[in-house]
């Protein structure tokens, strides 16, 4: 904790890696690419979960749980999906260990315990779920099915980074089944909109809603909706996706239903998910060179109270006031902690809470007791003020709201000032390298131009914005005609 | 839903299996031994999770998340633990699939993607967690560590049953680290007590707290505390365990700390867990030949309102009253659902809610509107009454409390009447076969007698009760001296 954080200007990537560890959010584990999410990080994830879960339930979804393992024969049934994930699958081949005859006290895989069929550790659950839905759906009366699951998934990524890309991660995956194409499309858009609302209102992260190009779509989807955010270093981050899967999985798993006219038809599907990657988005949107900055809605502790004292008597007097504040703030629904550890000095506590992004810090010392005041420090602006004890609850309530709004505004201003319209490929490359951020440019709609641009610049089409306005133009790369601008960026 | 449930008297095991499926709680999946937890079952599990999580946090614990995989070298480090779980481990050996050259469109494990070290899918997480704790603990100031994790675990059981024994299950596992033996023992007992309180107050399941004999202990523990419940068929079910692990894992993973005197010592450990097995305990404690019976605290819907109508006008009038009831009950914190589906007739709805154990059912028809009444049906007693609309909220609140208490009392009476003191082995066998339940008998404390009794009768020592009273006696099997009675039973 004592060693200073690398600054963002110095090395953004290093700053991120250090911050995640120093703020006690997560660390690498003994398993390649898998992380340990530490209590402080997990408490933030729990807040995200609780809010999302509420939003899912309010939109009619229920939670369920499906197996961790996907038998290989099911995994390969939807070919595009299988092809998309085959290269990064953890595969269970045996179900027993035995004593190693050559190394006393050690174990080895029991060669006699080979599974008849290998099991894939789920990288996503469409296959196992649609194989299950087949038995749940006979008629239109059984539809829609609106199910979500919170779970772990495994994708054997070669290059991993805490939260942003890990071999195992936590997520939620919604899997819905519908009688009509129109209804499934409405659902896919609705859930993308839920994600956008959550990101903006709860995480204070401005996002752009759009659809992915064919090459960036989820493997097996007919349309992928997404929310795209912009990090402080000018790189985009895909923060959530919602897929319209058409009848692909229904066909692969033979899931038919009798419609109202009594005719058999394949079921229409969506799936949608957000993951612990959102933790990375949170960090890279708001934090600064002093450490984490948390929107109050996500802070495990919105307020922390630090006592300043020399003697036991002073501590007792300060504690009494602190406990009164605790009670008042809690009655208003504010989460607050009294940091009365006697193993740390106030300065060390201040540093820790700053590093961990506690939105408001209250310090109370003997002088404050005399004056009927406290010192209130605001994490996002790093400003301090002296507040009358009588006004504290009110001030805290207002400030928490103000901080939440201010973080969103700050991030929105940054994002908005980093969407640059360009009209030539030279300009495209120039902005991408010097200014960074989203580049709004005409594109001819072909995979070839998209691939070539990616090859030459490392920028990808983040999305075709839902709110794209029609505008005649020519592709920034090929010069072929285009009907609107799409958003390019380098991305996480 | 239409086919009648097998009665408990006819075939208890069959009754259970049918009930789990018909009440829409869970079903078997395409993966051997792994279950799908359906939304209705999962909603009950969520209620358990929420209450337990609250209790864990109130006792100072925080949640975190550790990797799904345990490298084999870590897994084998604590030898007893490894030996205990080696025979039922799912093992990941490869990290990629590839196209099968012999079968177009199919995949096979890529032989070039063999892991250097095999990964065990966690059957429990002591190994991965204590390997992590080593880096977190230097001094007594870093202790205690009080962490819990909610996750899935895999134990490759050969004979599985929904909820009771599945290859994959959901659970929580607490893992704590302490500076002293005494503190760790207090923690292990405290959490066992939390489980007992939860089982009794929330699930309405009476339990006996005790310690396991050496042969029944968790692999790697020095003492295993447990809560034991009694199912309706007279078999016991271990509903939760809390382990005092001594310094075994600290030694295996070299986790030392500097104590207050500056001396290095190994850290003391506990671990404790309950799982989706509790769902099985819930079902087998309260349910009847008509289906599930749920204590109100665990019911996804405590009350369901069924409208009775012929015309649209009648439906509108009934709905207005129903919506008023919804509002009133919700304002009192009662979870209530208005079952206004037009695809089902009232009779079918009644049958479904009975099967799914909704504690209270309100039916409202045109006659009720005239009389200012509703019909109220109570699931646990299957009794009906006519209640004045004005009294409904009050009546429901009181009845929910009464049902919760009554279920606990009924289960307690059954359990208490099925603890039988026996003083000879003949009597032991006789009671075990004819009366069933717990048998309270003297035991000489040897593994030999315990094993022999198990071999001859299939009864195991469920626990040495914490509240065992000292009593001179002789072992029911060997005749050797004994200082108190322990509890035997056949068990799930």
Give me the mean pLDDT over the A180-187 stretch. 98
Query: Is some CB atom of chain A closer than 8 A to the CB atom of B126?
Result: no
CA distance B284 to chain A (A): 22
- A87 to B74: CB separation less than 8 angstroms, yes or no: no
Pick from A1, A39, A118, A157 the residue to mutate for testing the B interface (most B CBs within 10 Å).
A39
Distance CA A79, CA A117 (A): 18
Distance CA A93, CA B459 (A): 36
- B63 to A72: CB separation less than 8 angstroms, yes or no: no
Longest Cα–Cα distance of chain A, Å, equals 83
| Closest chain A CA to residue B140 | A343
Strand A419-421's sheet: what is its strand order?
Answer: A62-63, A145-154, A168-178, A268-275, A236-246, A223-230, A208-211, A460-465, A485-489, A438-442, A419-421
Distance CA A90, CA B110 (A): 11
Per-residue tokens: B254: 């070299």
Q: Which ranges in B87-228 belong to alpha helices (H)?
A: 126-136, 181-197
A63, A87, A107 ranked by CB distance to B42: nearest: A63
For residue A357, give the nearest of A289, A409, A406 by alpha carbon.
A289
Give me the mean pLDDT over the B5-24 stretch. 97
pLDDT digits (tens, 9 = 90+) for B467-481: 988 899 999 999 999
- A91 to B93: CB separation less than 8 angstroms, yes or no: yes
pLDDT above 60: residue B2 = no
Q: What percent of chain B has pLDDT over 90?
A: 98
The residue whose two tokens read 């928490």 is: A400
- A105 to B131: CB separation less than 8 angstroms, yes or no: no
- B62 to A46: CB separation less than 8 angstroms, yes or no: no
* The pLDDT of residue B343: 87
Angle between helices B277-286 and B39-58 (to 10 degrees): 110
SS3 content of chain A, % helix, strand, coil (to 5): 40, 30, 35
For residue B212, give the nearest of B224, B230, B222, B229 by alpha carbon.
B224
Distance CA B463, CA B492 (A): 14
CB contact residues (below 8 A), chain A span 332-371, against chain B: 343
| Total residues belonging to chain A | 492
Distance CA A219, CA A209 (A): 20
Give me the mean pLDDT over the B152-166 stretch. 96
Distance CA A268, CA A259 (A): 12
* The pLDDT of residue B251: 97
CB contact residues (below 8 A), chain A span 89-108, against chain B: 89-99, 105-107
pLDDT digits (tens, 9 = 90+) for A423-453: 999 999 999 999 999 999 999 999 999 999 9
- In order of B39, B191, B226, B245, B443, the CA distances from B223 in angstroms are 37, 13, 10, 7, 18
| 3-state DSSP assignment of residue A170 | strand
Query: Is some CB atom of chain A closer than 8 A to the CB atom of B79?
Result: yes
Candidate CATH numbers 3.40.50.800, 3.30.70.20, 3.40.640.10, 3.40.50.1820; the one for domain A301-399:
3.40.50.800
B34, B39, B71 ranked by CB distance to A67: nearest: B34
Distance CA B15, CA A88 (A): 43
The contacts of residue A441 (CB under 8 Å, 6+ apart) are A421, A422, A423, A428, A476, A485, A486, A488
| Closest chain B CA to residue A75 | B107
Domain boundaries, chain A: 12-286, 301-399, 419-489
Termini Cα distance of chain A:
27
- A91 to B92: CB separation less than 8 angstroms, yes or no: yes
| 3-state DSSP assignment of residue B13 | helix
Sign of CA dihedral A278, A284, A289, A293: negative
Domain B419-489 - what CATH class? alpha beta
* The pLDDT of residue B70: 98
pLDDT digits (tens, 9 = 90+) for A19-47: 999 999 999 999 999 999 999 999 999 99
Sign of CA dihedral A311, A316, A317, A319: positive
Residue B60 is given by DSSP the state: T
The answer to which of A2-6, A370-374, A401-405, B59-63 has the lowest mean pLDDT is A2-6
pLDDT above 90: residue B3 = no
Strand A69-71's sheet: what is its strand order?
Answer: A69-71, A114-121, A91-94, B91-94, B114-121, B69-71
* The pLDDT of residue A1: 46
Distance CA A59, CA A51 (A): 13
- Spell out which residues of chain A touch residue B89, defining contact as CB-CB under 8 Å: 95-97
- B31 to A71: CB separation less than 8 angstroms, yes or no: yes
The residue whose two tokens read 């390019």 is: A488
Pick from B41, B69, B104, B145 the residue to mutate for testing the A interface (most A CBs within 10 Å).
B69
Per-residue tokens: B198: 């939860």
Given a contact cutoff of 8 angstroms between Cβ atoms, the answer to whether A226 and A212 are in contact is: yes
Query: Is some CB atom of chain A closer than 8 A to the CB atom of B75?
Result: yes
| Closest chain B CA to residue A131 | B30
- A96 to B156: CB separation less than 8 angstroms, yes or no: yes
Give me the mean pLDDT over the B66-84 stretch. 95
pLDDT above 70: residue B270 = yes
* The pLDDT of residue A224: 98
CA distance A149 to chain B (A): 10
For residue B110, give the nearest of A81, A184, A93, A205 by alpha carbon.
A93
The contacts of residue B204 (CB under 8 Å, 6+ apart) are B285, B286, B295, B297, B404, B407, B408, B411
The two beta strands, B360-364 and B303-307, are parallel
The two beta strands, A91-94 and A114-121, are antiparallel
CA distance A119 to chain B (A): 8
CB contact residues (below 8 A), chain A span 434-463, against chain B: none
- Spell out which residues of chain B touch residue A65, defining contact as CB-CB under 8 Å: 36-37, 42, 45, 170
Angle between helices A312-331 and A392-416 (to 10 degrees): 70
**Helix or strand (DSSP H, E) at B133:** helix B126-136
- B96 to A156: CB separation less than 8 angstroms, yes or no: yes
pLDDT above 50: residue B1 = no
Q: How confident is the model at residue B320 (pLDDT cuts 50, 70, 90)?
A: very high
* The pLDDT of residue B469: 86
Give me the mean pLDDT over the A59-65 stretch. 98
Q: Does domain B301-401 have CATH number 3.40.640.10?
A: no
CA distance A412 to chain B (A): 32
* The pLDDT of residue A469: 86
* The pLDDT of residue A65: 98
The contacts of residue A254 (CB under 8 Å, 6+ apart) are A134
- Spell out which residues of chain B touch residue A69, defining contact as CB-CB under 8 Å: 31, 34, 90, 168
CA distance A458 to chain B (A): 26
Query: Is some CB atom of chain A closer than 8 A to the CB atom of B74?
Result: yes
Beta strands in B217-267 (DSSP E): 223-230, 236-246, 256-258, 264-266
B62, B71, B121 ranked by CB distance to A43: nearest: B62
Q: Which ranges in B23-66 belong to alpha helices (H)?
A: 39-58
- Spell out which residues of chain B touch residue A89, defining contact as CB-CB under 8 Å: 95-97
Given a contact cutoff of 8 angstroms between Cβ atoms, the answer to whether A324 and A382 are in contact is: no
Q: How confident is the model at residue A4 (pLDDT cuts 50, 70, 90)?
A: confident
* The pLDDT of residue A77: 94
Q: Which ranges in A211-338 belong to alpha helices (H)?
A: 248-252, 277-286, 312-331
- A86 to B64: CB separation less than 8 angstroms, yes or no: no
- Spell out which residues of chain B touch residue A152, defining contact as CB-CB under 8 Å: 68, 151-152
Distance CA B360, CA B348 (A): 16
* The pLDDT of residue B274: 98
Angle between helices B277-286 and B12-22 (to 10 degrees): 110
- Spell out which residues of chain B touch residue A131, defining contact as CB-CB under 8 Å: 30
Rounded mean pLDDT of chain B?
97
For residue A336, give the nearest of A408, A392, A277 by alpha carbon.
A392
Query: Is some CB atom of chain B closer than 8 A to the CB atom of A6?
Result: no
| Strand-pair partners of A190 | none
- In order of A246, A250, A268, the CA distances from A178 in angstroms are 10, 10, 5
CA distance A256 to chain B (A): 19
CA A205 to the chain's CA centroid = 11
Give me the mean pLDDT over the B451-468 stretch. 97
User: At A354, phi and psi to the nearest 5?
Assistant: -65, -50
pLDDT digits (tens, 9 = 90+) for A291-317: 999 999 999 999 999 999 999 999 999
Pick from A41, A91, A169 the residue to mutate for testing the B interface (most B CBs within 10 Å).
A91
A65, A128, A170 ranked by CB distance to B37: nearest: A65
- A39 to B152: CB separation less than 8 angstroms, yes or no: no
* The pLDDT of residue B169: 98
**Helix or strand (DSSP H, E) at A303:** strand A303-307
Angle between helices B277-286 and B392-416 (to 10 degrees): 100
Angle value at C-alpha A46, between A40 and A49, nearest 5 degrees: 150
| Strand-pair partners of A270 | A176, A244
Query: Is some CB atom of chain B closer than 8 A to the CB atom of A388?
Result: no
- In order of A105, A432, A435, the CA distances from A233 in angstroms are 51, 12, 10
pLDDT above 80: residue A420 = yes
The residue whose two tokens read 């109508």 is: B309
Give me the mean pLDDT over the B436-450 stretch. 97
Computed over its alpha carbons, how large is the radius of gyration of chain B?
26
Residue B267 is given by DSSP the state: P
Rounded mean pLDDT of chain A?
97
Count CB pairs under 8 A between chains A and B.
Answer: 190
pLDDT digits (tens, 9 = 90+) for A234-270: 999 999 999 999 999 999 999 999 999 999 999 999 9
| Closest chain B CA to residue A98 | B86
- A90 to B119: CB separation less than 8 angstroms, yes or no: yes
B12-286 matches B301-401 in fold = no
Distance CA B203, CA B56 (A): 16
**Helix or strand (DSSP H, E) at A398:** helix A392-416
- Spell out which residues of chain A touch residue B343, defining contact as CB-CB under 8 Å: 141
| Closest chain B CA to residue A344 | B141
- Spell out which residues of chain A touch residue B141, defining contact as CB-CB under 8 Å: 343
DSSP A311-325: SHHHHHHHHHHHHHH
Q: What percent of chain A has pLDDT over 70?
A: 99
Distance CA B399, CA B384 (A): 12
Q: For residue B375, how many C-alpha atoms fall within 13 Å in the half-sphere facing its CB?
A: 16
Q: Which CATH superfamily is domain B12-286 in?
A: Bira Bifunctional Protein; Domain 2 (3.30.930.10)
- B97 to A72: CB separation less than 8 angstroms, yes or no: yes
Query: Is some CB atom of chain B closer than 8 A to the CB atom of A172?
Result: no
- A154 to B68: CB separation less than 8 angstroms, yes or no: yes
Distance CA A49, CA B12 (A): 39
Query: Is some CB atom of chain A closer than 8 A to the CB atom of B146?
Result: no
The residue whose two tokens read 């954080």 is: A5
- A121 to B68: CB separation less than 8 angstroms, yes or no: yes
pLDDT above 70: residue A2 = no
């Amino acid at each position: 904790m004592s060693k200073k954080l690398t600054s963002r200007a110095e090395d953004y990537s290093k700053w991120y890696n250090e911050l995640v560890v120093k703020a006690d959010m997560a660390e690498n584990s003994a398993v390649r690419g898998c992380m340990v999410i530490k209590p402080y990080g997990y408490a933030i994830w729990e807040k995200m979960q609780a809010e999302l879960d509420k939003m899912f339930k309010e939109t009619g979804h229920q939670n369920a749980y499906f197996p961790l393992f996907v038998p290989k024969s099911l995994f390969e049934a939807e070919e595009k999906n299988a092809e998309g994930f085959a290269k990064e699958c953890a595969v269970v081949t045996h179900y027993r260990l035995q004593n190693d005859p050559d190394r006393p006290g050690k174990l080895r895989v029991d060669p006699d315990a080979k599974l008849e069929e290998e099991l894939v550790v789920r990288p996503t659950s469409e296959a196992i779920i649609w194989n299950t839905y087949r038995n749940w759906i006979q008629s239109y009366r059984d539809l829609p099915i609106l199910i979500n699951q919170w779970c772990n998934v495994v994708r054997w990524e070669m290059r991993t980074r805490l939260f942003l890309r890990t071999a195992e991660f936590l997520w939620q995956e919604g899997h819905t089944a519908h009688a009509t194409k129109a209804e499934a499309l409405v659902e896919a858009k609705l859930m993308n909109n839920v994600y956008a609302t959550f990101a903006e209102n709860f995480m204070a992260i401005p996002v752009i809603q759009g659809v992915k190009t064919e090459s960036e779509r989820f493997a097996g989807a007919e349309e992928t909706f997404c929310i795209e955010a912009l990090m402080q270093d000018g790189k985009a981050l895909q923060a959530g996706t919602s897929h319209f899967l058409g009848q692909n999985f229904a066909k692969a798993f033979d899931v038919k239903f009798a419609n109202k006219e009594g005719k058999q038809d394949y079921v229409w599907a969506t799936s949608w998910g957000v993951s612990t990657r959102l933790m990375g988005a949170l960090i890279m949107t708001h934090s600064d060179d002093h450490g984490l900055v948390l929107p109050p809605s996500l802070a495990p502790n919105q307020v922390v109270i630090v006592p300043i004292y020399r003697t036991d008597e002073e501590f007792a007097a300060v504690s009494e006031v602190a406990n009164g504040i605790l009670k008042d703030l809690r009655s208003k629904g504010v989460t607050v902690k009294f940091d009365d550890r006697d193993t740390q000095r106030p300065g060390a506590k201040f540093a820790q809470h700053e590093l961990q992004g506690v939105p408001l810090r209250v310090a109370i010392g003997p002088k404050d007791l005399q004056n009927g005041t406290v010192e209130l420090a605001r994490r996002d602006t790093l400003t301090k003020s002296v507040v009358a004890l009588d006004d504290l609850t009110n001030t805290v309530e207002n400030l928490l709201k103000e901080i939440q709004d201010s973080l969103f505004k700050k991030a929105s201003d940054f994002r908005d000032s980093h969407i640059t319209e360009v009209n030539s490929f030279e300009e495209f490359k120039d902005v991408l390298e010097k200014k960074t951020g989203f580049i709004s440019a005409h594109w001819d709609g072909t995979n070839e131009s998209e691939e070539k641009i990616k090859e030459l610049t490392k920028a990808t089409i983040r999305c075709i914005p839902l709110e794209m306005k029609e505008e005649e133009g020519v592709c920034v790369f090929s010069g072929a005609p285009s009907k609107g601008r799409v958003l390019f960026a380098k991305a996480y």
